Amino acid sequence: MIDLLQRLLPRSLRQPTPVPDALWHATLAAHPFLSALDGTEQERLRLLCTHFLTEKEFHGANGLVLTDAMALAIAAQACLPLLHMHGTSGEAVRDPLKLLDWYGDFVGIVVQPGAVVARRKTTDGAGVVHHFDEVLAGEAMDRGPLMLSWEEVAHASVAAESGSNVVIHEFVHKMDMRGISLGEHPDGAPPLPKGFLGTRGASEARQLWRDTMQSAFDAFREAVAMAERFGAERPWLDDYAAKDPAEFFAVTCEAYFVNRERFTQEFPALVALYDGFFRTASRA
């Protein structure tokens, strides 16, 4: 009941339960891409996590018992992209807690022990309906809950070497879903900050984003095709990024946050683009 009342209060009036020091330091130590943050960034991240844990409801599925350590690990990785962000309407923000609005369209986070098999259907150009199974390590639903596989979350430190992070992937999808109409599919073009990379308006900013992303996406798809058809070296990132622009955005964002050095080598054109989106405040 106390947690529910805290969630209903404006953030400025809340008195959320502090994250214990020992648990916080253990979380940082378990994730090198978090421990690499400077002291100011770590304190900002801790503040965001404290309120994130108040605002969200965690549910263990299929017998999984969630601990405080598990919830905090998810919260810290989910809040990492928010550290230097702009507001959801493109504005600069003074209160970092305002950045949690990016995740304001849902409350529930369902954590599965492992991957989940989802039954899908698609209709081809001839109108034929095809049914298939898709194995999911996570899923973000527009205006709905978010699902994660704990097996994947637990291996975040090791997965960082290959540029992978399921938590960041799904929460970036939530960012990409901001502003789309119900039923629309995200397109890898989230709301951009005002004056994005020196552009003079929203239309120019969006065009710069789309042009840069399309070029990188096309090059990645070509690399995947060359590997599959002619035995060329496979790309560093998961082939799933070649599925569509939304997945390319989410997969590349994983790498941007957990292995920036390798990401810079592989996607130099995207570094400035993502710095302009995710590091708005740090450039001000």
Q: What is the DSSP string of 71-111?
A: HHHHHHHHHGGGTTPPPTTS---SSGGGGGGGGTT--EEEE
Q: How many CA atoms lie within 13 A of 73 on its CB side?
A: 24
The pLDDT value given to residue 15: 83
What's the chain's Rg over C-alpha atoms?
A: 19
Compute the CA torsion angle 199, 258, 250, 179 (nearest 10 deg). -50
Could you tell me the fold of the domain covering 2-283?
Cyclin A; domain 1 (1.10.472)
Helix (H, G, I), strand (E, B) or coil at 117: strand
Picking from 224, 144, 222, 141, the residue whose alpha carbon sits closest to that of residue 186 is: 141
Alpha helices by DSSP H, the chain: 2-8, 21-30, 32-35, 39-55, 68-79, 150-154, 156-159, 166-176, 202-230, 245-258, 260-266, 268-278, 280-283
Q: Label the pairing between strands 116-123 and 129-136.
A: antiparallel
The pLDDT value given to residue 182: 83
C-alpha torsion sign, points 217, 220, 225, 226: positive
> pLDDT means per 10 residues in the chain (284 residues)?
64 86 98 97 97 96 97 98 96 94 96 77 60 73 94 97 98 94 90 95 96 98 97 96 97 98 97 94 52
The pLDDT value given to residue 283: 46
Q: What angle do CA 22, 102, 89 make, to 5 degrees?
A: 140
Domain ranges of the chain: 2-283
